[in-house]
Structure 1
């Protein structure tokens, strides 16, 4: 992979544009635009809640959750700090100052499902099999820290079995159907990404479920951490992920 491709692969904007080319993936991508004053105003008024996130970055660093209040006020949370504003101008100026000259995106906010009052999302690991076919080799939930807006392990998130997180939302049969749907979506995403990154052998797809259980693609990771699967009591998924990973490293 060229240095230019590596750099592009780290851009959330670039990856979003690649996925939007596929009509079967398009419906699962939340509205995402470059951070400008115009886009910020239009999106927070349209959706009520948005995420403002760096175009490049890992582990959820720099992600901001912003909301428009019922009484026309505005607020945003960064890490554990919440700031509130009476006017859009003050709200925008504060955000712009925090962002500085870095490239940021504005994304439609997804009201994630919760488990015991904590938000969670789902990571689907997709890897090339020994036969060169994309397979969903692992699926795991990431339970967010109660005071944080992101679910990443490095931000206090807890890797958790999806069965545990979804047991209060779905029956066993519904859960099995949903897992199949998420795995198939992950495989479609990997196949789409492969068109631009033909030598890449694994992707980590982060998916959020809203209150209607619709999946939304939060991010596609080019170098997903396989070790989160080792946090599960059942190690079979971890062993499979690592077996496929070692195969990829020897190719």
Structure 2
């Protein structure tokens, strides 16, 4: 039986919003249209628009409103930045820049930074050989200095969680912090499995605001395990890869004779 993948960000978000344990971790999200963009931008001051289906952060655009300035409406796509005097001008340009596919709108989170660069964390959750969910790895992803997404394939830098959080938490607090993340990852996997019973793995992308509240930005049902090879502790990747072999994502490596 093949491993189930869910490509729609909106479909996965809807599952999490329906769960009483998880809904408070989801940034406000809406369907992309003119009124939603204007309303959410007025309400939050920063929003992200994302393709409903997409990978590696491709097509993601950050929009900001800075009242009291000569060009209060601004957005960034990849490394290109634009500024506008009016919402109408901004929205017209946005329609030309974004991909011609369905989008959603999400409240922007002012993420923690490491050396001036935004970062989030990827939590890998897998079905273990005992058929139980297990959070098998956590890694940080630091955005490229000129980009708005943290994805490794978009120039992000993978780093250990301890290094990223050492400026925000003590060693004891970091241990508690990681336990909470692992528990949250399992809760998300369990919620999704009720709707999509053939999933075997998820990659949970979590950002933190200045109060250290976790926000679930996205759930990937085909997460890249190889980013974990960047961790100093190679045993993390070995476990992740061995579990992926056990549930059939990869074939066992042939031993050389």
Q: TM-score range by the shorter chain?
A: over 0.9
SS of match in other structure, 2:248:
helix
| Alignment match of 1:35 (pick from 32, 37, 43) | 32
Separation in 1, partners of 2:97, 2:237:
39
Q: Is 1:237 equivalent to 2:236 in the alignment?
A: yes
Separation in 2, partners of 1:31, 1:161:
29
Q: Which residue of 2 aligns with 1:55?
A: 52
Q: Which residue of 2 aligns with 1:70?
A: 67
Separation in 1, partners of 2:99, 2:130:
47
Separation in 2, partners of 1:14, 1:69:
32
Q: Which residue of 2 aligns with 1:187?
A: 186
Separation in 2, partners of 1:246, 1:135:
15
User: What CA deviation, in whole Å up to 9, does each residue of 1:207-237 have, x standing for no partner?
Assistant: 0111111000010001100000001111011
Name structure 1 gaps, 5 residues minimum: none
Q: Which residue of 2 aligns with 1:249?
A: 248
SS of match in other structure, 2:195:
coil
Runs of 4+ in 1 over 6 A off after TM superposition: none
Tell me the TM-score normalized by structure 2: 0.93
Separation in 2, partners of 1:101, 1:122:
29
> 1:220-231 to 2 correspondence within 5 Å?
220-231=219-230
Q: Which residue of 1 aligns with 2:117?
A: 118
1:129 CA displacement = 1.4
Name structure 2 gaps, 5 residues minimum: 251-257
SS of match in other structure, 1:148:
coil
Separation in 2, partners of 1:199, 1:215:
27
1:99 CA displacement = 2.7
1:71 CA displacement = 1.6
1:250 CA displacement = 7.4
CA RMSD of aligned residues (A): 1.7
Aligned length: 248
SS of match in other structure, 1:46:
helix
Tell me the TM-score normalized by structure 1: 0.95
